Structure 1
Amino acid sequence: MLSADEARAKLLDNARPVRQTEAIPLEAALGRVLAEPLIAAVTVPPLDNSAMDGYALRLADWAEDKWLHVAQRIPAGQLGHPLTLGTAARIFTGAPVPEGADTVVMQEDCEVRDDHVRIAKPPKLGAHIRRAGEDIAHGQTVLQAGERLNAARLGVAASVGATELTVHRKLKVALFFTGDEIVLPGHPLKAGQIYNSNRATLLALLQGLGCEVHDLGIVADNLDATVNALEQASRHADVVITSGGVSVGEEDHVKAAVERLGRIEMWKVAMKPGKPLVYGRLNTIAGVDTDFLGLPGNPVSAFVVFCLFVRPFLLARMGAARAEALSFTVPAGFDWKKPGERREFLRARIEHGRAVLYPNQSSGVLTSVAWADGLVDIESGHTVREGDDVRFWPLTELLK
């Protein structure tokens, strides 16, 4: 078995970014991956401007008991006149600082009488002035190719006047499930059957990444049906993902079906939950290999494997330059006395500054994932005593 780190590295080494690009409106670009750097055609801010509502003055004109004539009023969006000696300008946040002024005093520090203002507290040279270009200079690269576009990055793009962005096309992912025991919600359950929770989970995870998902539903639990489904999926998808049928039982047909149509490059990871993880390539009619990822059927295993392995792989295939999730250490609010033979990822949440575990860590207990806000990472062979530092992977990182 590969270690979790080895498996992740192998997947990322095989992740080939899609090459096709498209120009789309700024408003439609959330979650997409930028294919070309964005260069600023303007300076931001374009002029020195006030960071406060207050008064603009020349510092040399200030004295503690001196009243300055307020000679002009400058709202945001309007240009003032050059400041004459011995005067001040009423100015508002975002308004251009008039020529001749070198300091802004916020209105809370001013005493106003008719059209005169007095500043008793000594102002500081350059105070409350946002300088032209202090955010973005003309010609600066403000967004790099490979950045995944979030709200902040779209705001930066808008600030330099961009109306559309060139992004990698959406990654096409085909998804199907195996197992005669699973049934879609809305259908009656027969003896021995369960509802397919993995479909709802994986569809949501893929849609959250911005993939174009082709849902092929549930495939009959036999080799021929699995081969046919893989062949059909590989014709139109960049990546085919399945859930279930990747273990070593007589009714697990996915691995054999992949080997009939292509090759297996990775199988089994030394982790819990989620040991059976298959990566391979399917040979398409067009001669272009389609990536295959076979996830476990247990719902917690499928979720954890997706977060730790499938998500970074898909992001890299989407063209994202950075797919790493951030983690941190936190004191354990539990004891873990039995060292495991595999690296364990335990469903946990932080309460009162400590990581506490869901009481049932079975790979079939999906409620543990809904309850948790992260995964505690325990290396194989390690034990934990309450108060020890443990690695914590927040779901906000693993799902973004």
Structure 2
Amino acid sequence: MTHSPNDPILLSSSLHVDEARKAISDLVKDLLAEARNITSQSAIELVSLDQAINRILAEDLLSPIDVPSADNSAMDGYAFHGNCLGNSEDIVSLKVIGTAYAGKPFEGNIGAGECLKIMTGALMPNGCDTVIPQELTSTPSDASIEFKQSLLKPGENRRLRGEDLQNGKPAIEAGRLLRPSDLGLAASLGIATLKVHRKLKVAILSSGDELRTLGEALDAGSIYDSNRYSLTGLLNRLDLEIIDCGIVRDDPVSLKEAFCNAAKVADVLISSGGVSVGEADFTKQIMQDLGDVGFWKIAMRPGRPMAFGTLKPIAGQSSPHKTLFFGLPGNPVAVMVTFYQFVRAALLQLNGAAQTEPPLTQAISESAIRKKPDRTEFQRAILGRGKDGKPTVKLTGSQGAGILRSMSEANCFVILHHDQGNIAAGDWVDVALFDGLL
């Protein structure tokens, strides 16, 4: 069942991480459905391959050719017709009548008892359907080869026309977050431009009277704002357009003005700070005035308090769409964890991506980890390899939500799931790598 962000079911108790993720995904689906009713092609751009990395493909990329374009050799060796092969240990002797190179096809025909020396990628000559690797043959003379019948079967080591891609079939499906290999594949098909979804515009701000921007002096009780810089780095990894709204003081007038200004120009607004029970009183009222936003307690560590919902369109807004809103905790590590767990997937989904969740791997914990059931924990850790070659993982020390060093030294999260208890040294645990994410 889908709930509004302000649904009492979501506010009355701590949400399971999976419940929060589903509620966010359901709301993004609703926003996408609303957007389709208002605009269509305006959210699609045509970009050159050198500008397409980390963009999301908007339409299936259809191959204009067969790949391979013709039958060819999968390796260096000798091409011949496989009707001379069997399962015995008998020796096959073939006469070598020429050589075929990639890009320089052999024009003649190959008859019975004959073969052609062939290079990887060279077109298969007429009369040939099999290639024996060069290293499996002996050469009694420059003009002949020998090998055992049983070493291969007819048709081996030949790449068939259209084996990889067929003309008119999808080479890359819509929704792909484009990687370097995708750009290479497009180039191999002679395609110079790709249709991609427009970059989302994401506004970020930090709230708190104690925050100071870089270059300002620190007075008693004040701290430098690090969250906007962490969020900027996270968003840059997704290649999104970032609108930095700076630091906003803890008063209703300033906060409401900042939210309204951000909603006028952004598809998504991400704030940090001001969402815990004590801090959120006037923020709740502002959110009720501006849209449909709920304040959640999530059964996770770090990152328990979070606000989520939509801001309704306001006068002067650049688009008629609602603005997706995330109110993240103020603690620096909690900001990055909640972004990783909830915001990243929502941004990818809203931007048209088909795959939004990063893959998990597993490693052996080098030490015991204390864990309370009924919450999901994201421990910062370093993934390595033991003497036996198996993957191992060790924590980066103290796991407090305000200890940025624990993130800076780490290269992964150890994810301890909702129902898990204590972990013993030597147990296998789920791991999510930072590479490409944080």
TM-score in terms of structure 1 length: 0.91
Residue 14 of structure 1: aligned partner: 27
Q: How does 1:331-350 map to 2 (within 5 A)?
A: 331-337=364-370, 339=372, 342-350=375-383
Among residues 402, 414, 419, which one is paired with 1:364 in the alignment?
Answer: 402
Cα deviations by residue, 1:292-318 (Å, 9 ceiling, x for unpaired): 111111011001000000001111000
Q: CA deviation at 1:97?
A: 0.8
Contact kept? 2:268, 2:325, Cα under 8 Å: yes
Among residues 194, 200, 223, which one is paired with 1:165 in the alignment?
Answer: 194
Larger displacement relative to structure 2 (71-80 or 113-122): 113-122
Q: How does 1:145-294 map to 2 (within 5 A)?
A: 145-250=174-279, 254-284=283-313, 285=315, 286=317, 287-294=320-327
Distance between the aligned counterparts of 2:172 and 2:102, measured in 1?
28
Cα deviations by residue, 1:156-184 (Å, 9 ceiling, x for unpaired): 32333322111111111111111222223
Q: CA deviation at 1:362?
A: 0.5
Contact kept? 2:94, 2:115, Cα under 8 Å: no
Distance between the aligned counterparts of 2:94 and 2:372, measured in 1?
76
Residue 120 of structure 1: aligned partner: 147
Contact kept? 2:110, 2:126, Cα under 8 Å: no
Contact kept? 1:222, 1:251, Cα under 8 Å: no
Structure 1 position 134 matched with structure 2 position 173: no
Residue 422 of structure 2: aligned partner: 383
Give unmatched runs, 5+ long, in structure 2: 1-13
Distance 1:327 1:42, change over 3 A: same
Secondary structure of residue in 2 paired with 1:180: coil
Distance between the aligned counterparts of 1:118 and 1:135, measured in 2?
31
Q: CA deviation at 1:229?
A: 0.8
Give unmatched runs, 5+ long, in structure 1: none
Amino acid at match of 1:217: G
Structure 1 position 80 matched with structure 2 position 113: no
Cα deviations by residue, 1:73-109 (Å, 9 ceiling, x for unpaired): 2211122113232432222111101011122222333
Larger displacement relative to structure 2 (343-352 or 368-377): 343-352
- C-alpha RMSD over aligned residues: 2.5
Amino acid at match of 1:246: V
Contact kept? 1:50, 1:128, Cα under 8 Å: yes
Contact kept? 2:378, 2:413, Cα under 8 Å: no
Residue 57 of structure 1: aligned partner: 80
Q: CA deviation at 1:242?
A: 0.7
Structure 1 position 395 matched with structure 2 position 434: yes
Secondary structure of residue in 2 paired with 1:335: coil
Distance between the aligned counterparts of 1:330 and 1:317, measured in 2?
32
Distance 1:66 1:263, change over 3 A: closer
Residue 56 of structure 2: aligned partner: 33
Distance between the aligned counterparts of 1:157 and 1:338, measured in 2?
47
Distance between the aligned counterparts of 2:367 and 2:138, measured in 1?
60
Distance between the aligned counterparts of 1:170 and 1:338, measured in 2?
39
Q: CA deviation at 1:356?
A: 2.5
Cα deviations by residue, 1:202-242 (Å, 9 ceiling, x for unpaired): 10111111211111111223221111111000001100111
Cα deviations by residue, 1:8-39 (Å, 9 ceiling, x for unpaired): 10101111346511121122111111111122
Secondary structure of residue in 1 paired with 2:91: coil
Q: CA deviation at 1:380?
A: 5.6
Distance between the aligned counterparts of 1:369 and 1:252, measured in 2?
30
Larger displacement relative to structure 2 (215-224 or 184-193): 184-193
Secondary structure of residue in 2 paired with 1:66: strand
Q: Percent identical across equivalent pairs?
A: 38
Distance between the aligned counterparts of 1:84 and 1:280, measured in 2?
70
TM-score in terms of structure 2 length: 0.83
Contact kept? 1:245, 1:253, Cα under 8 Å: no
Distance between the aligned counterparts of 2:122 and 2:181, measured in 1?
23
Distance 1:114 1:188, change over 3 A: farther
Secondary structure of residue in 2 paired with 1:306: helix
Contact kept? 1:375, 1:395, Cα under 8 Å: no
Residue 7 of structure 2: aligned partner: none
Amino acid at match of 1:375: V
Figure out how many residues of one structure are paired with residues of the other and give that number: 398
Distance between the aligned counterparts of 2:283 and 2:119, measured in 1?
66
Cα deviations by residue, 1:303-348 (Å, 9 ceiling, x for unpaired): 1000000001111000112212222444433334462663322222
